[in-house]
């Protein structure tokens, strides 16, 4: 009898933790609208003045997105982590589109991530030169022209023109002091010269802007890009005269792409809990990237781990001793959470295997496994619904939360990239259904979220084309 009581007591306590989680993580539509409105307000503040908001609202200097008319051979270099990609694209105008493309992926030796600027850029330029040397049939550079490159550099940069920007700080395991404060395009250009490679960087962009360009090339209605992967960010097309902090000449196109850096968004309306606060305090960047910590792939699995740890400590959920591995930060990765969440086997076998292999927890009952799925539900749904609120806030700022604008029916396409969106089906479906809920049936038919698979690499080559030094020549 006592044994059953103890078990019942455990279940009661565990249930109480889950019910409280559900309540604290809840995101009713009214709350999401408040989050969206706060996002819109912060966007205005970030555009008005430097440092006016937690949202940096960086001016990208991209004032010409691809139109589909681009012609010729263009290269791209995508550096955003421990690997980089080099790519070449032969563009054939409206008819030929992307006639041919090839790419190569290169791993960066770990010692170069903490060495000198010179060594890192020499390595990159040497690999780029090797890749150029393999340019074969189907690729041709117009006579007398220099090769042009789009450079996707996914680290914090203070952009000073379409083809220059100084590194603010390294992230993702890089730590090369002598690059900080330097113009990364100048560093790459000098390294290419040392290799004897005649190539000009005509666009410096980040992955979100590359995704926007790649999306726009295939669909003229793409006006927003969102990355939902390990991290999260958004970029969109703003009217140039609606950027008070812009003091340069207004671009001919009348438009300017803004890199929001929305991971750093925060608001009193965000449903932050003790799990989020503890995770933030113990993170490498406390107080920063609060929105990213709620919605992106780097953190969802870690939030689930923290909930399970609390259940193990307070409700002896996994037996009398707390499993040692459950105390290791980030031991439960979001892809593993996603695999458990998508387990449709009758005995939830995948959940059992993941618990055993990752956390060393064996002999879990079906009831226990079901409760773990419920926790994944609660955490993933909050993340996806908040991401949807963010997108809704951006659409409101752009006046695209209505069907008719300036007397015309409008269609809006949001290009979305990133592993979280691509592979976590529950998250993606929840994001889509929340957008419908916020926009309403009518408007939601005119707003399409489209997966843009690795648009950022192709996007950089396309931006090199739309900002080519030879454009004036071709047009005259």
- The residue annotated as part of the active site, out of 63, 207, 276, 343, is 207
Q: How far apart are CA 288 and CA 384, in angstroms?
A: 20
| Phi and psi torsions of 375, nearest 5° | -65, -45
347, HSE (Cβ side, Cα atoms, 13 Å): 6
Q: Does 207 qualify as catalytic in the annotation? A: yes
Residue 250, CA distances (Å) to 163, 242, 255, 269, 343 in order: 18, 11, 8, 35, 53
Of 356, 363, 366, nearest in space to 332 by CA: 356
Could you confirm whether 172 is annotated as catalytic? Answer: yes
Nearest residue to 471 via CA among 130, 79, 52, 69: 69
Spot the catalytic one: 172, 245, 349, 356: 172
Q: Which tokens hold the place of 354?
A: 């993941």
b/e burial code for range 196-216 (CB count within 10 A of at least 16 → b): ebebbbbbbbbbbbbbbbbbb
Instruction: Answer whether 223's CB lies under 8 Å from 400's CB.
Output: yes
Give strand pairing partners of 228. 232
CA pair distance 227, 234, nearest whole angstrom: 6
Token pair of 186, please?
Answer: 């100048």
Cβ atoms of residues 341 and 376 within 8 Å: yes
CA distance linking residue 216 with residue 221, whole number of Å: 7
- DSSP secondary structure string for all residues of 291-330: HHHHHSTTTHHHHHHHHHHHHHHHH-TTSSS--GGGGSTT
Containing H/E element for 255?
Answer: strand 255-259
Q: Rounded CA gap, 463 and 74, in Å?
A: 9
Residues 6 or more apart in contact with residue 463 via CB below 8 angstroms? 62, 65, 66, 150, 202, 203, 205, 209, 210, 213
Bridge partners (DSSP) of residue 236 are 224, 258
Catalytic residue IDs = 172, 207
């Amino acid at each position: 009898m006592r044994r059953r009581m103890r078990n019942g007591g455990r279940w009661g306590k565990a249930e109480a933790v889950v019910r409280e989680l559900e309540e604290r993580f809840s995101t009713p539509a009214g709350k999401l609208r408040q989050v969206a409105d706060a996002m819109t307000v912060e966007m205005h503040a970030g555009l008005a003045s430097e440092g006016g908001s937690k949202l940096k609202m960086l001016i990208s200097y991209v004032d010409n997105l691809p139109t589909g008319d681009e012609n010729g051979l263009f290269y791209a270099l995508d550096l955003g982590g421990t690997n980089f990609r080099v790519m070449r694209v032969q563009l054939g105008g409206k008819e030929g589109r992307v006639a041919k493309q090839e790419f190569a992926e290169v791993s960066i030796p770990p010692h170069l991530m903490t060495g000198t600027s010179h060594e890192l850029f020499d390595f990159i330029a040497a690999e780029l030169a090797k890749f150029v040397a393999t340019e074969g049939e189907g690729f041709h550079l117009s006579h007398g022209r220099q090769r042009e490159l789009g450079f996707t550099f996914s680290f914090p940069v203070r952009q000073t023109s379409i083809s220059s920007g100084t590194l603010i700080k390294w992230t993702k395991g890089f730590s090369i002091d002598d690059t900080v404060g330097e113009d990364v395009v100048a560093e790459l250009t000098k390294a290419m010269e040392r290799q004897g490679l005649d190539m000009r960087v005509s666009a410096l962009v980040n992955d979100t802007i590359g995704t926007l360009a790649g999306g726009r090339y295939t669909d003229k209605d793409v006006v927003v890009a969102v990355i939902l992967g390990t991290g999260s960010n958004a970029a969109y097309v703003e009217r140039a005269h609606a950027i008070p902090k812009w003091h340069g000449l207004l671009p001919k196109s009348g438009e300017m792409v803004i890199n929001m850096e929305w991971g750093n968004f925060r608001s009193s309306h965000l449903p932050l809990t003790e799990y989020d606060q503890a995770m933030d305090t113990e993170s490498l960047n406390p107080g920063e990237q609060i929105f990213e910590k709620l919605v992106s792939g780097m953190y969802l699995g870690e939030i689930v781990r923290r909930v399970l740890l609390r259940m193990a400590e307070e409700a002896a959920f996994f037996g009398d001793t707390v499993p040692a591995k459950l105390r290791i930060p980030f031991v439960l990765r979001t892809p593993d959470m996603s695999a458990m969440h998508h387990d449709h086997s009758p005995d939830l076998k995948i959940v059992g295997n993941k618990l055993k292999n990752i956390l060393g927890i064996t002999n879990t009952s079906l009831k226990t496994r079901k409760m773990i799925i419920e926790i994944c539900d609660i955490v993933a749904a909050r993340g996806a619904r908040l991401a949807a609120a963010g997108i809704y806030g951006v659409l409101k700022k752009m006046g695209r939360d209505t069907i008719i604008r300036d007397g015309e029916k409008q269609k809006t396409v949001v290009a979305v990239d990133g592993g979280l969106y691509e592979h976590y089906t529950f998250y993606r479906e929840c994001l889509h259904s929340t957008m419908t809920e916020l926009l309403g049936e009518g408007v939601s038919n005119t707003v399409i979220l489209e997966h843009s698979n690795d648009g950022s690499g192709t996007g950089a080559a396309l931006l090199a084309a739309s900002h080519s030094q030879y454009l004036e020549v071709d047009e005259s």
